[in-house]
Structure 1
């Protein structure tokens, strides 16, 4: 599928403007007019892509979550879900976060409404569940499964929040090594 470069540029401008505005005010207080002004596009262009500011955020979250999904699944796919075959160089989650660090700084900021965290949490939880199902990994039955998925999701996001709290100072390679140690001890993919 060929993408129109004007569309891509417009969407990138809107996402960048949205991130700048989210640093100073909540999503519900951002107007289309100020978003368009900062993105340097007109309202007609905005409405040809989105109905409201929430759709811009939702679309950006979808882009980030899809990249997060790929980063999460890559080492498992390369090892055919055998933890013992995984090495630190295969892990891509921390590289993903660095790529979208502006977004994560907003989502993990303690002054920002929890709504953003829960949107991210629900999205990550969903793709972890889909990954388990797709790869036919044995899951616990019933309610325990829900708790296991939430535990797994919070474990990953907890690492990212701690990295955020340390101002992203630890390099990704060191975090990869630490994550290998953690997941080899407690993973639904372990045999």
Structure 2
């Protein structure tokens, strides 16, 4: 699939402008005119690609979530969903967050409405559901699965929020080591005693 470089540049300009505006105001308060002015594109070009500002955000979130999904699933696919076989170099989530750090700084900011967090939460939870289905297909306790999904989604996002609170200072490679330790400590396969 070949991408028109002008379209890619327009989308990148709009995303960058949207992130800048989201640092100071909620999505609902951002106008198309304001977004176009900051992105340095005309309104006609905007409407060629998007119907409104919400669609810019929605499509950007889709790009981020798809990248997050790939980063999340990579180690599980390589280990055939066996946590005990996972190694630090397989983990890609923290590299993903670094790549989209501007977005995550907004989503995890205490000054930003929780709706952004919940959009991210629901998106991450939905792809985790696909992964969990492979592991717990035979479980008849649907309530347990629902709570397990929320628990695991919040565990991952909680790690990312903590990293955000520390200013993303810790290297992704160090966080990979920490995550392996956490998974080892919380794994039902760990040896006691």
TM norm structure 2: 0.93
| 1:63-102 Cα deviation digits (max 9, x unpaired) | 0000000000011111111212111111000000000000
Report the counterpart of residue 103 of structure 1 in structure 2: 103
CA distance in 2, matches of 1:174, 1:57: 31
- The Cα of 1:7 is off from its aligned counterpart by 1.0
Report the counterpart of residue 54 of structure 1 in structure 2: 54
Q: How does 1:8-27 map to 2 (within 5 A)?
A: 8-27=8-27
Q: Which of 119, 136, 139 is residue 138 of structure 1 equivalent to?
A: 136
Report if aligned partners of 2:125, 2:150 keep a CA contact under 8 Å in 1: yes
| 1:136-164 Cα deviation digits (max 9, x unpaired) | 21154211111100000000000000000
Query: Structure 1 pair 150/19, CA: closer, same or farther in 2 (3 Å)?
Result: same
Query: Structure 1 pair 165/7, CA: closer, same or farther in 2 (3 Å)?
Result: same
Q: How does 1:70-81 map to 2 (within 5 A)?
A: 70-81=70-81
- The Cα of 1:132 is off from its aligned counterpart by 2.3
Superposed CA RMSD in Å reads 1.6
Report the counterpart of residue 117 of structure 1 in structure 2: 117
SS at match of 1:3: coil
SS at match of 1:25: coil
Report if aligned partners of 1:137, 1:189 keep a CA contact under 8 Å in 2: no
CA distance in 2, matches of 1:188, 1:54: 42
Is 1:126 the equivalent of 2:126? Answer: yes
Report if aligned partners of 1:82, 1:189 keep a CA contact under 8 Å in 2: no
Query: Structure 1 pair 102/12, CA: closer, same or farther in 2 (3 Å)?
Result: same
Gaps of 5+ in 2: none
Aligned residue pair count: 188
Q: How does 1:143-182 map to 2 (within 5 A)?
A: 143-182=143-182
Gaps of 5+ in 1: none
Report if aligned partners of 1:36, 1:46 keep a CA contact under 8 Å in 2: yes
- The Cα of 1:188 is off from its aligned counterpart by 8.8
